[in-house]
Amino acid sequence: YEPPAFDSKCMTLTQCVFSEQKKVLSVNENLTQLLISIQTAVKAVSSAVQKAELTHMYDMDGSTNVQGEDVKKLDVLSNELFINTLTSSFKVHMMVSKKNDSMIEIETGKRGRYIVCFDPLDGSSNIDCLMPLGSIFGIFRKIHITDETNALQSGRHLVAAGYALYGSATMIVLTLGKGRGVHGFKLDPSIGEFMLTERNIKIPSKGNIYSINEGYSHLWDRYVREYMRRIKNPKDGEPYSARYVGSMVADVHRTLKYGGIFMYPATKHLPKGKLRLLYEGNPMAYIIEEAGGMASNGKIPLLDIQPIEIHQKTPVFLGSKDDVNELVKIYESF
């Protein structure tokens, strides 16, 4: 079954998702309501981020989160906005948030059929210096009675994934998978709608930008060091350029648009890497693969990993297919 191409005549994110749902009548997917709630959360977070300094939301709230990081007030607000809007959609059975130690149950009367794994405000260490921030989400259908296993589905079972980028504009990049492409929607604050601005985004098959925190180069595995040596001192062609914001959504969005490779490898002090599989690695991998790219933990595709713990970490190598493939081949040769 080849789903029809994305309906580019539609204008808003909600109209586009609704028209997509109408096409795939065989599966009574009802993501529209759920994605409306996510849009509401993103609009509210965007507003809070824009006004953070004016509303004294920059400073810490004095606690540390499950990741052991200092919690900023904006972190707390963003998490509550996502939890409350998703709960009030009546479409969510259970959630996993980066900011909550355990999974978030929904009261029985408000439960729906979807599982949402999200990072409500990624890159929050960059809040005070006005670097771009993001939100990341992945959506599964509920499959098991026992809740924990519902969240521990491999990325291949995602039914939708997306991110919001709070930068010079607020944007949602979304895919419903299954060949229906990756699409970009920019928030028009004057009407409060996300408008389709980039249809069927495809990542270049090869790029010339690498994105990694080189401060940890002495802690990388040999295959990563060898890959970096080759792209910085190529036998032929120009060396790659370095770009690293330190905010995953910003670094991945640039990689999606321009090509190249984003890497957060395992290091000696973080043997499983830093990024989390459920709400950072998998949603981004789902988007990148749908855009024609590749996402790996160095050995296997991220989407093939069978999760065993909701906050488990994974090394992340994603971007242009040729670039990620070259890294994986070096891993295999060691």
**Using rule CB under 6 A, residue 123 touches ligand P6P:** yes
CB of 248 to ligand P6P, least distance (A): 3
> Which of 20, 27, 37 minimizes the C-alpha distance to 110?
37
Give how many residues touch ligand P6P by CB under 6 A. 10
284, 118 contact by CB (below 8 A): no
Record the tokens describing residue 129, joined without a space.
Answer: 């210096």
Backbone region of residue 291 per phi and psi (left: phi > 0; alpha: psi in -120 to 50; beta: other values): alpha
CB of 283 to ligand P6P, least distance (A): 13
**Cβ nearer to ligand P6P, comparing 43 with 313:** 313
For ligand P6P, what does the binding mask look like between residues 242 and 281, x meaning CB under 6 A? Answer: ----xxx--x------------x---------x-------
Relative to beta strand 133-141, strand 114-122 is: antiparallel
For ligand P6P, what does the binding mask look like between residues 166 and 205, x meaning CB under 6 A? Answer: ----------------------------------------
CB of 21 to ligand P6P, least distance (A): 31
217-246: which residues touch ligand P6P (CB under 6 A)? Answer: 246
**Using rule CB under 6 A, residue 325 touches ligand P6P:** no
Q: Which of 122, 147, 290, 323 binds ligand P6P (CB under 6 A)?
A: 122
| Residue 209 Cα distances to 53, 134, 231, 254, 256, angstroms | 33, 21, 9, 9, 11
**Using rule CB under 6 A, residue 312 touches ligand P6P:** no
> Which of 12, 214, 254, 240 minimizes the C-alpha distance to 132?
254
- Sign of the Cα torsion 222, 228, 229, 235 reads positive
Selected range binding ligand P6P among 120-128, 224-232, 287-295, 320-328, rule: CB under 6 A:
120-128
**Cβ nearer to ligand P6P, comparing 85 with 267:** 267
CA gap 318, 264 in Å, rounded: 9
Q: Which of 84, 213, 312, 325 binds ligand P6P (CB under 6 A)?
A: 213
Q: In what order do the strands lie in the sheet with 209-211?
A: 241-242, 209-211, 261-264, 316-319, 294-296
- Three-state DSSP at 39 gives helix
CB of 131 to ligand P6P, least distance (A): 10
Q: Write out the residues near ligand P6P by the rule CB under 6 A.
A: 122-123, 125, 213, 246-248, 251, 264, 274
